[in-house]
Amino acid sequence: MEKRDLYDINRVLTGETIYKGEKIPKNRYITVVISFMQNSKGEFLIQKRSDEKDGRYGSTGGHPKSGETSLEGMITEIREEIGLKIKPSELKLIFSDRQDSKQVFFDIYYLKKDFNISDLTLQKEEVDSVSWLSTDKIKNMMNDNLFLPSHVMCFYKMMEILNKKGVNIG
Cα-based angle 46, 48, 51 (whole degrees, multiple of 5)? 165
> 63 near 73, Cβ under 8 Å?
yes
What percent of the chain lies above the pLDDT cut of 70? Answer: 98
Number of domains in the chain: 1
Domain of 59 in residue numbering reads as 3-164
- Please check whether residue 151 lies inside any domain of the structure: yes
* Cα separation, 12 vs 29, whole angstroms: 10
Residue 169 counted as domain residue: no
State the pLDDT at residue 170. 63
Identify whether 170 is part of a domain. Answer: no
Q: Residue 39: give its domain's CATH number.
A: 3.90.79.10
Give the pTM: 0.95
Below-70 pLDDT ranges, the chain: 168-170
pLDDT of residue 53: 87
Cα–Cα dist 15/1, whole Å? 18
Q: Are strands 30-38 and 104-112 parallel, antiparallel or unpaired?
A: parallel
Q: Count of H helices and E strands in the chain?
A: 3, 9
Residue 95 lies in a domain: yes
Which 3 state secondary structure label does DSSP give 61?
Answer: strand
| Mean of pLDDT over the chain | 95
pLDDT score for 165: 85
